[in-house]
Amino acid sequence: QVQLEESGGGLVQAGGSLRLACTNSERTSSRYVMGWFRQAPGKERDFVAGVSWSGNNKEYADSVKGRFTISREIGKNTVYLQMNTLKLEDTAVYYCAAGPTYLSGSVYYSEPEYEYWGQGTQVTVSS
């Protein structure tokens, strides 16, 4: 049973940094593509970053390229999202997601490709 739990959210000033973590309770979590999405108030949930099961392939939304870094620590069944140079528009609830790997090296961008979701963690960037 895949259970995802996010941590690391909070309140930070613009220009600051946060690191989110997502831990998967299932032992074989390395088979999954992992992703981060976010949902700002009144907006749809959007893709932020994704990483392949091997950790070698990573993709980012244009809005976070150069500022956010996704990584995974397979031995700890954990995926991270390092967020630097945070902006007011980064304020959102951030969700971790896992999707089965059908093709080696795949990274998914869309919600339907992810089967499992965490409950989300709030990130608030203040001026």
Cα(11)–Cα(76) distance, integer angstroms: 26
Cα(28)–Cα(45) distance, integer angstroms: 27
Q: What is the pLDDT of residues 61-84, one digit of tens each?
A: 999 999 999 999 877 789 999 999
Amino acid, res. 35: G
Q: Which two tokens stand for residue 121?
A: 């963690």
Q: What is the pLDDT of residues 81-103, one digit of tens each?
A: 999 999 999 999 999 999 998 88
